[in-house]
Amino acid sequence: MKLLTREALLSFRRAPLLSVLSITTIAFSLFTLGLFGLVAINLRQALQGLEERVEIVAFVLRGTPAETITLATQDIAAFPEVQDVTYVTEEQALARARRELVEFRDAYRDLQVNPLPASIEVRLKPGNRDAATVERVAQRLRGFGFVNDVRYGRDWVQKLDHLRNITGIVGLVIGLAFAAVAVVIIGVTIRLTLLQRAREISIMRLVGATNWFIRGPFLLEGALKGLLGGLLSLVLCYAGYLLFRDQSGGTFAGLIFFLPYQMGAIVVFGVLLGLAGSLVSVGRHLRHV
């Protein structure tokens, strides 16, 4: 183990420029990936905020008995998708309109008859706010005899769905592309080290070193480069995040950074990329020696 670590570290000392080059390329690959990840998690956070406002409103026919509505409300609250149900009476609707629609305050004050219908407002549980579920719940609400009309922002919900899918797909494609680039770059740098040390490897084989013994330091070297690249990419991401947040003049003051487990995942991903690159490179080289 001591020998393994020594040999792996020795390669950093023997070829410092090459090592720095490979670490920075890994860091930049992961940095780009990380920036995209940051956009994705912030977008998801923003979408969650929007999603919480997804609401279905069922307008109630005038003159529906209060008991019917109470029973129906209990019924609706028992739907598995539903988070909470609020009954808004005609008076409450008017009061809310007076309070929220300041421009029309005078118009509402002079009314003889309340024109606003009572309504049942339904909010859905997280994970049930997609277009299909919203439509299904709306259908069931329409099934109640006293329900006059059901409204929800259909287009809006569908757009949210779309946006979420697109971010997911784009993230995956870009992520995979960058991961592939990182693997190739690490592979190439390890291959350069291998060629540089071809003589040493041939001597190792000659005196009876096993292939795993020869691979060991190179794999460790790849993993170490991946680790350092991963850590460096986090530093770069954080610098980018701070710069963007502070230069945006408050527009993006609410931006969030990675959680510790997400940062861990980036570093682990870097290590895996490093290992993958060196494994491919060493495997190919050893077959040819």
| Residue 202 in the binding site for other proteins (CB under 8 A) | yes
Strands of 82-88's sheet in order across = 82-88, 119-124, 55-60, 147-151
d(CA 270, CA 233): 9
Per the CB < 8 A criterion, the answer to whether 156 and 92 are in contact is no
Kindly identify the residues of this chain, within the stretch 212-251, that bind other proteins according to CB under 8 A.
213
Nearer to other proteins, 129 or 197 (CB): 197
State the DSSP string of 89-135. Answer: -HHHHHHHHHHH-GGGHHHHHT-SS--PPPEEEEEEPTT--SHHHHH
Kindly identify the residues of this chain, within the stretch 129-168, that bind other proteins according to CB under 8 A.
none
Question: Rounded to 5 degrees, what are φ and ψ at 149?
Answer: -155, 150
Q: Which stretch binds other proteins (CB under 8 A): 103-111, 134-142, 209-217, 263-271?
A: 209-217
- Residue 209: CB minimum distance to other proteins, A: 4
* The one among 42, 64, 83, 211 contacting other proteins by CB under 8 A: 211
| Residue 288 in the binding site for other proteins (CB under 8 A) | no
Question: Which residue type occupies 52?
Answer: E
By rule CB under 8 A, what count of residues binds other proteins?
15
| Residue 195 in the binding site for other proteins (CB under 8 A) | no
Per the CB < 8 A criterion, the answer to whether 210 and 8 are in contact is no
Q: Which stretch binds other proteins (CB under 8 A): 21-29, 125-133, 136-144, 207-215?
A: 207-215
| Residue 209 in the binding site for other proteins (CB under 8 A) | yes
Q: Work out the end-to-end distance of the chain between its first and last CA atoms, rounded to an integer number of angstroms.
A: 24
Tokens encoding 201: 């490897």
Nearer to other proteins, 2 or 288 (CB): 2
- Residue 261: CB minimum distance to other proteins, A: 38
Beta strands 147-151 and 119-124, pairing class: unpaired
- Residue 249: CB minimum distance to other proteins, A: 57
| Residue 199 in the binding site for other proteins (CB under 8 A) | yes
| Residue 196 in the binding site for other proteins (CB under 8 A) | no
| Residue 18 in the binding site for other proteins (CB under 8 A) | no
Q: With both helix axes pointing from N to C terminus, report the angle between 211-247 and 2-14 in degrees, rounded to the nearest 10.
A: 60
Per the CB < 8 A criterion, the answer to whether 286 and 243 are in contact is no
| Residue 203 in the binding site for other proteins (CB under 8 A) | yes
Nearer to other proteins, 114 or 211 (CB): 211
| Residue 204 in the binding site for other proteins (CB under 8 A) | yes
Q: Which residues bind other proteins (CB under 8 A)?
A: 2-3, 199-200, 202-211, 213
